[in-house]
Structure 1
Amino acid sequence: MSNATRSRLTIPQNGTVGNHEDRSVVSNDFSTTLGAVILGLVFLLGVPGNLFIVWSILARIKRRSVTTLLILNLACADGLLMVLTIFFIVYLTMQTWVFGDAMCKCLFYLCNANMYASIFLITLMSVHRMVAVVMPRSLSTLVSKKVVRRVIWCTWVLVMLIAIPSLVFRDVREDHDEKNRTRHVCAPNHTKPTHERFQYAFETVSGFILPYTVIITCYVLILRRLRQTKFRRTVRSEKLILAIVVMFGLFWLPYHVINMIQVAAQWYDPKSPIREKLDNITRPSRAVTSALAFISSCANPILYTFAGKSYIKKNGFAFMARLFEGTSLDQTGTKKTKETVGLSTLDSANDSGPLQNGRA
């Protein structure tokens, strides 16, 4: 790497982007330490938690409802992300990238794909809930398991496609800190301001703003429909799915706020005081906000545990499966009992059918 290229990584130049990005993740000792601690806790909680969910569904539930299929895919996506955190813990701890250029691209691509997969699957849960409440008679036609499986497959294909920018705009570069120590950073490689604006704006709009608009619309329709009917029971499934939505939003919001600040910074001249202030916000914040975003992937098992705590004493390790089995028993007009309260408010009998004796 030439001296000119090296100097560009540390000193802003007109028309050059990526200089502040290269040092945004590992240039601050406090943020990298805090980020590593958060990711360590996320790894310890998230890996066994999501594996337990996958095992509970695959090994103990033979007839799976639509909601259960979506939760299974969400747990697989989150579990994969939790496994990848070990690489980022090493990165933040050593403050240098040691895994090579190919791993740099692939790991960040998979993380970005997980973000899209998580929010899209949560959006599908909300849409399914809306259809079940607003159009219950059409549920078996519009939301059969066959249709849902196709939608899930299409969702994964879409996720892999729209995450490609994180694969293209990322590579390993040399960086020199204030003490002239050389290190490698896995950083964005935007060569034009338009590239940076496009990636982060596209990421926030498609991975946060648009899905949440759909989710909010679905819950407005659900609340409106419930107020129009005499059927106004409160089922723990509605609260649980709403908690998943809120939890995801809270942990990902800081990350997308930093994205927008970084996009806004690109509209100013590199020598502008405003640009410098904005860069000073994004530079130390990226590691922490990214680590917080990882928490959303380990929070769902905790939410499920609280939702199914009434089953723990009776069902032991099968409590999670018993909780998910409720998706096929809780139907429109079905009398609510302790044995039928599960994840879904209005999954129809055509979705997965009743289970015999609530077998786990």
Structure 2
Amino acid sequence: MSSPEETSDHPSLSVARTVVCAILGLSFAIGVPGNSFVIWTICGQMKERTPTVVLILHLSIADLLVLVTMPLWIYSFANAWSFGIVACKALAFVVYCSMYVSIFLITALSLERFLAVSYPFAAQRWKKKTTPHLVVFLIWFLSIAFGATIVPFQEMVDTEGGLQCAARSYENNSQEAACLLLETVVGFILPFTIISTCYACIGRRIGRMTCPSRRRSARLMASVVIAFGLCWFPHHVFNLLSVASLLTEDLHPEASQALGRVAEMGVYIASSVTFISSCINPLLYAFAARNVRSSARFTKFSKLFEQINPVSRQESPKETPYPNEQEKTTSMEII
């Protein structure tokens, strides 16, 4: 997003706005019913929810919160922002809060998968009813705190097409660079370093799995992570380009301006692509559920979620004797 002073309305920006509206409209049309169905399935069709399913439930809730704001964003980009500065700040907060919730939940899912494979007995503690709810509470608390950092800076900008809720106002370049770096480090680099490490360890074990449901849930969780990474990676690339432009403004003015123009143009499309991550997860669940045997089509989701269980109840170390430690680990692991 550009600063309020950068109000030039290039023809290419008009094309970008058209593409943005199309992406947002498609995300809304697919994501709202998809995430609503996931929430209905988990809350209405599952009597017992595993910790993993609890995380998936909150991931769908966070995605739905973003998607219900889409009509306002679409109207704004197609016409002008006419809802006031309070609504502008509030909707920006919802979007960024959801971003942090999603990445933190996906990080928690990756850590849970890693524990289930590498430390199955430690994963037993994860099954306690209070533990997942405490983790979810902490995730929402941190996400609200990080999402609130954008509120003081979010502003409306006056363009040739009217007011737009698409600008941030900072006191100086250092403050802007610090905020962008915080967003990228906390919202992408650090979580994905943890996620990549977890799945690198998990990948060593996947080839030895024989249970189809375990392999299916492994592929499902990995696809959720990959989809989120692909959707958010361009946004953070342009964030870093903006930071580079700010830091080189005094030393290399021409290079700084070139980077700034690239970041200004690319951020429109890249930011809209991030919303695809809010609608794609239900499609991944539906694709994974195709191979789940069920007499009714709508029950396949619940069957799929029932299979995503880090440590099965029947394989509890207190109930099943194991002849040796290797057999214990093999029997307990599930992804």
Q: Identify whether the pair has TM-score above 0.5, normalized to the shorter chain.
A: yes
The residue that corresponds to 1:211 in the other structure is 191
The aligned length equals 315
- Tell me if structure 2 keeps the 8 A contact 1:18–1:191: no
The residue that corresponds to 2:273 in the other structure is 292
The percentage of aligned residue pairs carrying the same residue is 32
Structure 1 residue 130: deviation in Å? 0.6
The residue that corresponds to 2:82 in the other structure is 98
The residue that corresponds to 2:5 in the other structure is 19
Once residues 137 and 165 of structure 2 are traced to their aligned partners in structure 1, the CA distance between those partners, rounded to angstroms, is 34
Alignment of 1:168-317 (within 5 A): 168-175=152-159, 177=160, 183-224=163-204, 235-269=215-249, 272-311=253-292, 314-317=295-298
The residue that corresponds to 1:47 in the other structure is 32
Compare 322-331 and 129-138 and name the one that shifted more.
322-331
1:125 matches 2:109: yes
What amino acid sits opposite 1:294 in the alignment? F
- Tell me if structure 1 keeps the 8 A contact 2:52–2:309: no
Once residues 62 and 11 of structure 2 are traced to their aligned partners in structure 1, the CA distance between those partners, rounded to angstroms, is 26
Alignment of 1:312-351 (within 5 A): 314-328=295-309, 331=312, 346=334
Structure 1 residue 240: deviation in Å? 0.6
What amino acid sits opposite 1:120 in the alignment? F
Once residues 278 and 221 of structure 1 are traced to their aligned partners in structure 2, the CA distance between those partners, rounded to angstroms, is 37
Once residues 183 and 198 of structure 1 are traced to their aligned partners in structure 2, the CA distance between those partners, rounded to angstroms, is 27
Q: Which runs of 5+ in 1 are unaligned?
A: 1-9, 11-16, 335-343, 348-360
CA RMSD of aligned residues (A): 2.7
Question: Structure 1 residues 246, 291: CA separation in 2 closer, same or farther (over 3 Å shift)?
Answer: same
Question: Structure 1 residues 237, 226: CA separation in 2 closer, same or farther (over 3 Å shift)?
Answer: closer
Structure 1 residue 226: deviation in Å? 6.0
1:153 matches 2:133: no
- Tell me if structure 2 keeps the 8 A contact 1:105–1:167: yes
- Tell me if structure 2 keeps the 8 A contact 1:255–1:293: yes
Structure 1 residue 98: deviation in Å? 1.1
Once residues 38 and 159 of structure 1 are traced to their aligned partners in structure 2, the CA distance between those partners, rounded to angstroms, is 25
What amino acid sits opposite 2:232 in the alignment? W
Question: Structure 1 residues 35, 25: CA separation in 2 closer, same or farther (over 3 Å shift)?
Answer: farther
What amino acid sits opposite 1:79 in the alignment? L
Per the normalisation by structure 2, the TM-score is 0.86
Cα deviation, 1:273-332, whole Å, max 9, x if unaligned, reads 112211211122111111100001100000000100134762221221121112349749
1:83 matches 2:64: no
Structure 1 residue 223: deviation in Å? 3.2
What amino acid sits opposite 2:5 in the alignment? N
Question: Structure 1 residues 221, 145: CA separation in 2 closer, same or farther (over 3 Å shift)?
Answer: farther
Match of 1:65 among 50, 58, 63: 50
- Tell me if structure 2 keeps the 8 A contact 1:126–1:218: yes
- Tell me if structure 1 keeps the 8 A contact 2:4–2:157: no
- Tell me if structure 2 keeps the 8 A contact 1:327–1:345: no
Question: Structure 1 residues 107, 136: CA separation in 2 closer, same or farther (over 3 Å shift)?
Answer: same
Per the normalisation by structure 1, the TM-score is 0.81
Match of 2:16 among 13, 16, 31: 31
Cα deviation, 1:318-350, whole Å, max 9, x if unaligned, reads 22112111234974997xxxxxxxxx9627xxx
Compare 83-92 and 293-302 and name the one that shifted more.
83-92
Structure 1 residue 220: deviation in Å? 2.1
Once residues 169 and 293 of structure 1 are traced to their aligned partners in structure 2, the CA distance between those partners, rounded to angstroms, is 20
Question: Structure 1 residues 183, 192: CA separation in 2 closer, same or farther (over 3 Å shift)?
Answer: same
The residue that corresponds to 1:353 in the other structure is none
Question: Structure 1 residues 134, 221: CA separation in 2 closer, same or farther (over 3 Å shift)?
Answer: same
Q: Which runs of 5+ in 2 are unaligned?
A: 316-331
Once residues 304 and 294 of structure 1 are traced to their aligned partners in structure 2, the CA distance between those partners, rounded to angstroms, is 18
Structure 1 residue 40: deviation in Å? 0.4
What amino acid sits opposite 1:283 in the alignment? E
Question: Structure 1 residues 204, 23: CA separation in 2 closer, same or farther (over 3 Å shift)?
Answer: farther
Once residues 99 and 322 of structure 1 are traced to their aligned partners in structure 2, the CA distance between those partners, rounded to angstroms, is 43
Question: Structure 1 residues 329, 19: CA separation in 2 closer, same or farther (over 3 Å shift)?
Answer: closer
The residue that corresponds to 2:94 in the other structure is 110
What amino acid sits opposite 1:70 in the alignment? L
